[in-house]
Structure 1
Amino acid sequence: MHVKPVASALHWVAASGRRLTESWAGSPRAIDVLTALGCFALMALDLPGLAAADNSLSGPLAAVVLAAGCLGLLVRRRVPWVSYLTALLFIGWLHELTLIQFALYSVGRYRGRRAGILATVGYVGFALVVFAVPGWPEPRIETLSSFLSLVVPIGVLASAVGIAAYRHDLVRELDTRRAESAVLQAVQQERTSVARDVHDFVGRELTLLTVRSEVLSMRSRETAYAKDFEELADTARRAHLVLNEIIVQRGERAATPGVEGLAALAEESGRAGSPVRLALDPDVHGLSPLRQAAVYRVVQECLTNAAKHARGETIEVSIAADGPQLRIAVSNGLAERNGTRAPVSAGSGTASMSERVRSLGGSLTATRTEGSYEVVATLPKG
Structure 2
Amino acid sequence: MPTSSPQPPPPADGLLSAARRNLREVAHGLTHASHPPTPLFADAPRPWQRLLPYGVVLALAATLIPVTINFLISEYGVPGGVAGALGVAQAAPLLMLAHRPLQAWWIVFPADIIGALVLLGYPVATYTVWPWTPPAIVGYLFLLLALGLRETRRTSIAVWLATGAAGVVLHVISPGRSNGSALLLPVLGAVVLVIAAAVRERGDAQRRLAEQETISEAERAQRTLLEERTRIARELHDVVAHHMSVITVQADSAPYRISGLSEEAVEEFGSIAASARESLAEMRRLLVVLRSDGTEGERAPQPGLDRLQQLVEATVRAGLPAELSLAADLGDVPQTVDLSAYRIVQEALANVVRHAPGARTRVSIASDGEHLTVVVANDRAERLGSPLEPTGTGHGLVGMRERVRLTGGTLDTGPLPDGGFRVAARLPLSPASPSSLEDL
Aligned to 1:330: 376
Offset, 1:198 = 3.2
Q: Which amino acid aligns with 2:264?
A: K
Q: 2:249 aligns with which of 211, 230, 239?
A: 211
Aligned to 1:365: 412
1:246–1:98: structure 2 CA closer, same or farther, 3 Å change rule?
farther
Distance 2:204 2:319 in 1: 44
The answer to whether the aligner puts 1:291 opposite 2:337 as a matched pair is yes
SS at match of 1:71: coil
| Farther-moved stretch of structure 1 (330-339 vs 185-194) | 330-339
1:49–1:206: structure 2 CA closer, same or farther, 3 Å change rule?
closer
Offset, 1:319 = 2.2
TM-score by length of 1: 0.65
5 Å matches for 1:156-175?
160=198, 162-175=200-213
| Farther-moved stretch of structure 1 (324-333 vs 170-179) | 170-179
Equivalent residues, number: 327
RMSD: 4.7
Does the 8 A contact of 2:228 with 2:398 survive in 1? no
5 Å matches for 1:103-118?
104=148
| Farther-moved stretch of structure 1 (360-369 vs 348-357) | 360-369
Offset, 1:350 = 1.6
Aligned to 1:191: 229
The answer to whether the aligner puts 1:282 opposite 2:328 as a matched pair is yes
Offset, 1:294 = 0.8
Aligned to 1:227: 264
Distance 2:272 2:140 in 1: 85
TM-score by length of 2: 0.58
SS at match of 2:287: coil
SS at match of 1:273: coil
TM-superposition CA deviations, 1:211-252 (whole Å, max 9, x none): 22222213446443x532541342243145235425612342
Which is richer in helix?
Answer: 1
The answer to whether the aligner puts 1:43 opposite 2:43 as a matched pair is no
TM-superposition CA deviations, 1:14-58 (whole Å, max 9, x none): xxxxxxxxxxxxxx9664996675323321223344544374478
5 Å matches for 1:295-310?
295-310=341-356
Offset, 1:372 = 1.9
Distance 2:421 2:362 in 1: 11
Does the 8 A contact of 2:89 with 2:108 survive in 1? no
Distance 1:313 1:349 in 2: 18
Offset, 1:358 = 0.7
Does the 8 A contact of 2:57 with 2:98 survive in 1? no
* Percent of pairs with identical residues: 27
Q: Which segments of 5 or more consecutive residues in structure 2 lack a partner in the other structure?
A: 1-40, 69-82, 113-135, 172-178, 289-295, 431-440
The answer to whether the aligner puts 1:354 opposite 2:401 as a matched pair is yes
Does the 8 A contact of 1:206 with 1:236 survive in 2? no
Q: Looking at CA atoms only, which structure, 1 or 2, has the larger radius of gyration?
A: 2
1:252–1:198: structure 2 CA closer, same or farther, 3 Å change rule?
same
Offset, 1:361 = 1.0
Distance 2:383 2:406 in 1: 36
The answer to whether the aligner puts 1:314 opposite 2:360 as a matched pair is yes
Distance 1:121 1:191 in 2: 53
Aligned to 1:261: 307
Offset, 1:151 = 7.0
Distance 1:49 1:288 in 2: 81
Distance 1:102 1:343 in 2: 55
Distance 1:245 1:217 in 2: 26
Offset, 1:295 = 0.9
Q: Which segments of 5 or more consecutive residues in structure 1 lack a partner in the other structure?
A: 1-27, 73-82, 108-114
SS at match of 2:359: coil
Q: 1:374 aligns with which of 408, 413, 422?
A: 422
Does the 8 A contact of 2:356 with 2:387 survive in 1? no
Distance 1:158 1:340 in 2: 47
Aligned to 2:278: 241
Distance 2:200 2:145 in 1: 10
1:180–1:334: structure 2 CA closer, same or farther, 3 Å change rule?
farther
1:219–1:48: structure 2 CA closer, same or farther, 3 Å change rule?
closer
Distance 1:272 1:130 in 2: 80
Does the 8 A contact of 2:225 with 2:398 survive in 1? yes
SS at match of 1:46: helix
TM-superposition CA deviations, 1:326-354 (whole Å, max 9, x none): 22222224438868799999x94222221
Does the 8 A contact of 1:43 with 1:98 survive in 2? no
1:279–1:219: structure 2 CA closer, same or farther, 3 Å change rule?
closer
Does the 8 A contact of 2:359 with 2:380 survive in 1? yes
Offset, 1:310 = 1.1
The answer to whether the aligner puts 1:252 opposite 2:297 as a matched pair is yes
